[in-house]
A and B are shown apart, each in its own frame.
Chain A
């Protein structure tokens, strides 16, 4: 083409048109990206589809699952879309999983009845049991389904026949309120009288000994010892007044109890006019009490010496008094003070968590007979025992104090291996790491910083010079 004036003008016009049209196209695509959403999982590892753990769990759940999402209908919030996206991924693997939306504003009675506390909360129902999900993540929903699937197996036995606290009783010292909470969480509670039924059922997830008031028969103690020896999970809530023939059990666990009742002057700061109440304000990094936000209150507690427990168990004292508390061996009346000769100085251990690998021989026997409840457990066959020097903290009279109820629920969850929630790891893309030798790094650096820009500049100058010569 001849480079005359007309042609140059035409070229400039074409160039300008191209620039304008190109920018317009980019702008329009950017605008449309804010208006339309399109999702597709093109990643090598399928990072945005359901994790294999979730798919495997859904395959185990034979009955229909019903999810009711309490989310507002307003189009201004995207909660319903997020819920649909999340639940939709499950529905692709389980067609009988249904999702219904309820506008919480328009169903206030239902919101109150279900105990809904936030917009977007979901109620998941399976086999008549319900659990709530507040986080819209696969991990939260899968773990909830996991709990629902397992909860039918969680049988908690409360020992009775010796004046123990009753999980259905309404008296101040009973555990009626706590038992109700556990039943709501899907635990199956039962009471066990070893005199009438001299056997601890194999399907029990946990045995609870809640503050016996009279002595147990030696045969009963032996049954409990055998249960622990075989690998059974146990929660023993003791009191300062005595062990009621359970000392052999304490010895079996490697524990001993300090004499006297724990006295804690800190409680007076909280307005409690009784020195026999102890408070625990700090918690170690143990699964039972990790991130427990509030204080827990223990009326009339005994202190535990876990000195020998470490020989056969992995022992963790997880409730400890403040250092200025002590175990008072004198009469709990009038002015109480620490007596260096007889009293035990703080800080004192109020509770010990014991864990060990479940005895192998018993495991084999169990496996041959019938699968134990914990065989489903992803955490492995660990035996768990918790001994606490107080049973009052879960009683109807004190359950509402501080974080007592939460501690109680965490205890039962941990002991029945309900803390072994599924961990769904974030999926990593394959080959995302690029490792370069120093030489290669240097070559790339020099190329990008100097060679390529320099080459472009030289090419530009050459072209410019060539055109100028025309």
Chain B
């Protein structure tokens, strides 16, 4: 065997040895994998139940959309529900079997909140003393997760209601404003009674704004709302959706008496939603 072959053979043995070392990694414990607190796939969650001091909150997913069912039936806020279901797949920051642990130490003897995702229950206990973490119990394991998750569960129920006045897919047929009615005439919106000057674009834009309008905030509204009304007639529904204009300043407040909810919008939206804008000079009716 010549020198070159010998050198290559030695090198081959070295590479084989190093390869074995890299493959088998003797003396090293396996790298711990991040542990999820549940085995649930957030996309497969159909039912949320939250028991907390502010009262029971329940949501179900119907046809891909979340609906608040308790304490009040209403479309649910997608951002909030996504945050809640994502708890199922959150990485555990630290974990320990609860065997032998005093649950009272971690505030889990009487949980501060209980989240149920499908049939998995997550108990929320006390805040950990370091680094804004919170103790949660899932089955027989104690986990630590970011404290923010707890605060996403304990807000007022109205905060879980969708900010949209009309959900995607609903179709408006008739809009009754305090001073005007807009009718969907085979896709074209026509004001009734017709003003002397009006623009089809402005009517369509007004209807479009109602279709997509979103509140800054939704609050519970107790008592009887009084004031002018907006009635939104939706395709496939006998009764119109009633909105009472409870205030225009400093915010536009539209109250849904059937849900007991007040939608707070920017004051400037009052004109955009309640008035049909005058046509531009170069536009013809």
Binding site for B on A (CB under 8 A): 11, 14, 17-18, 21-22, 24-25, 28-29, 31-32, 35-36, 72-76, 103-106, 108-109, 111-112, 116-119
- Assess A76 versus B11: contact at CB under 8 Å? Given A29-B18, A111-B130: no
Chain A residues with CB under 8 A of B31 = 75
The chain B residue sitting closest to A16, CB to CB, is B8
Contact A21 B15, CB 8 Å, known A74-B32, A108-B106, A108-B126: yes
- Do A116 and B12 touch (CB < 8 A)? no
Contact among B7, B128, B131 for A18, CB-based, below 8 A: B7
Question: Contact at B15–A117, with CB atoms within 8 Å?
Answer: no
Contact A119 B131 (CB under 8 A): yes
CA distance A11 to B144 in the complex (A): 62
Taking a contact as CB atoms under 8 Å apart, the answer to whether B15 and A35 are in contact is no
Query: Would B94 and A118 count as touching, CB distance under 8 A?
Result: no
Q: A18-B7, A103-B94 are in contact. List 10 more A-B contacts (CB 8 A).
A: A21-B14, A25-B15, A35-B22, A36-B27, A74-B32, A76-B32, A105-B94, A106-B94, A108-B126, A118-B130
Closest to B5 in A: A14
- Closest Cβ of chain A to B6, distance in Å, is 11
Q: Is B170 an interface residue (CB 8 A)?
A: no
Closest chain A CB from B97 CB (angstroms):
11
Chain A positions within 8 Å of B27 at CB level:
36
Point out the residues of chain A lying under 8 angstroms from B32, CB to CB: 74-76
Q: Which residues of B contact A29 (CB under 8 A)?
A: 18
* Size of the chain B interface, CB-CB below 8 angstroms: 31
User: Is there contact, CB below 8 Å, between B105 and A105?
Assistant: no
Type the 1/0 row for B42-64, where 1 means its CB is closer than 8 Å to any CB of A. 00000000000000000000000
CA–CA, A76 and B92, complex, Å:
12
B4 within 8 A of A: yes
Closest Cβ neighbor of A10 among chain B residues: B4
Instruction: Select from chain B the residue with minimum beta-carbon distance to A75.
Output: B32
Whether the pair B18, A32 counts as a contact (CB closer than 8 A) is yes
| CB of B28 closer than 8 Å to a CB of A | yes
Binary A-proximity of B89-131 (CB < 8 A = 1, otherwise 0): 0000110100001000110000000000000000000101111
A-B contact list, 25 entries, CB within 8 Å = A11-B4, A14-B5, A14-B8, A18-B4, A18-B11, A21-B8, A21-B12, A24-B15, A25-B14, A25-B18, A28-B19, A29-B18, A36-B28, A72-B94, A104-B128, A105-B93, A105-B130, A105-B133, A106-B94, A108-B105, A108-B129, A111-B130, A116-B130, A117-B130, A119-B130
Query: A119 CA to B31 CA in the complex, in Å?
Result: 21
Kindly state the separation between the CA atoms of A266 and B76 in the bound complex, as whole angstroms: 53
Question: In the complex, A328 Cα to B251 Cα: how many Å?
Answer: 54
Docked complex Cα distance between A111 and B18 (Å): 45
Smallest beta-carbon distance A12→chain B, Å: 11
Query: Could you tell me if A17 and B130 are in contact, using CB atoms closer than 8 angstroms?
Result: no
Bound state CA distance, A201 and B177, in angstroms? Answer: 93
Q: Is the CB of A35 within 8 A of B25?
A: yes
Q: Is the interface of B mostly helix, strand, loop or mixed?
A: mixed
The answer to whether B186 has its CB under 8 Å from any CB of chain A is no
Known: A18-B7, A108-B126, A116-B129. A28 touches B15 (CB 8 A): yes
B216 at interface, CB cutoff 8 A: no
A109-B12 Cα distance, complex, nearest whole Å: 58
Interface centre among B4, B5, B94, B130 (most CB of A within 10 A): B130
Minimum CB distance partner of A113 in chain B: B129
Contact with A along B22-37 (1 / 0, CB 8 A): 1001011101100000
Q: Are B8 and A109 interface neighbours, CB within 8 A?
A: no
Known: A73-B94, A74-B94. A105 touches B128 (CB 8 A): yes
Does B21 sit at the interface, judged by CB under 8 A?
yes
Cα(A29)–Cα(B15), bound, Å: 9
Q: Which residue of A lies closest to B8 (CB)?
A: A17
* Chain B hits for A35, CB < 8 A: 22, 25, 28
Report whether A109 and B21 are in contact in the complex, using a CB–CB cutoff of 8 Å.
no
CA A11 – CA B7 in complex, angstroms?
13
For the complex formed, measure the closest distance between the CB of A27 and the CB atoms of chain B, giving whole angstroms: 9
- B33 nearest CB neighbor, chain A only: A76
Complex Cα–Cα for A104 and B129 (A): 8
Residue on B nearest A14 in the bound complex, by CB? B4
In the complex, how many angstroms separate the beta carbon of B70 from the nearest chain A beta carbon? 33
Q: Chain B residues near A116: list those with CB within 8 A.
A: 129-130
CB distance from B266 to the nearest CB of A (A): 36
Residue of A nearest to B106 (CB): A108
Within the assembled complex, what's the spacing in Å between the Cα atoms of A24 and B12?
Answer: 9
Beyond A75-B32, A108-B129, A116-B129, whether A32 also contacts B8 by CB under 8 A is no
Q: Are A109 and B105 in contact (CB under 8 A)?
A: yes
Asked if residues B15 and A111 are in contact (CB atoms below 8 Å), the reply is no
Q: Give chain B residues whose Cβ lies under 8 Å from the Cβ of A28.
A: 15, 18-19, 21-22
Cα distance A28–B11 in the bound complex, in angstroms: 12
In the assembled complex, the Cα of A11 lies from the Cα of B130 at a distance in Å of: 65
- Complex Cα spacing A31 to B31, Å: 15
Chain A residues in 8 Å Cβ range of B8: 14, 17-18, 21
CA distance A116 to B131 in the complex (A): 11
- Give CA–CA (A21, B10) in the complex, Å: 10
B-side contacts of A109, CB under 8 Å: 105
* Cβ contact of B130, chosen from A21, A74, A104, cutoff 8 A: A104
Closest residue of B by beta carbon distance from A103: B94
* Min C-beta distance of B89 to chain A, whole Å: 18
Could you tell me the distance between the alpha carbons of A28 and B101 in the complex, rounded to whole angstroms? 45
Alpha-carbon distance A75/B4, docked complex (angstroms): 46
Residue numbers in B under 8 Å from A105 (CB-CB) = 93-94, 128, 130, 133, 144
- CA of A161 to CA of B7, assembled, Å: 92
Q: How long is the Cα–Cα vector from A117 to B4 in the complex, in angstroms?
A: 63
CA distance A21 to B14 in the complex (A): 9
**A32 — which chain B residues lie within 8 A by C-beta?**
18, 21-22
Would you give the shortest CB distance from B21 to chain A, in whole angstroms?
6
Residue numbers in A under 8 Å from B128 (CB-CB): 104-105, 108
CA distance A48 to B15 in the complex (A): 32
Chain A residue with Cβ nearest B12? A21
* Residues from chain A with Cβ under 8 Å of B105 in the complex: 108-109
Taken together as a complex, chains A and B put the C-alpha atoms of A11 and B106 apart, in Å, by 71
Bound form: Cα–Cα A17–B7 in Å: 10
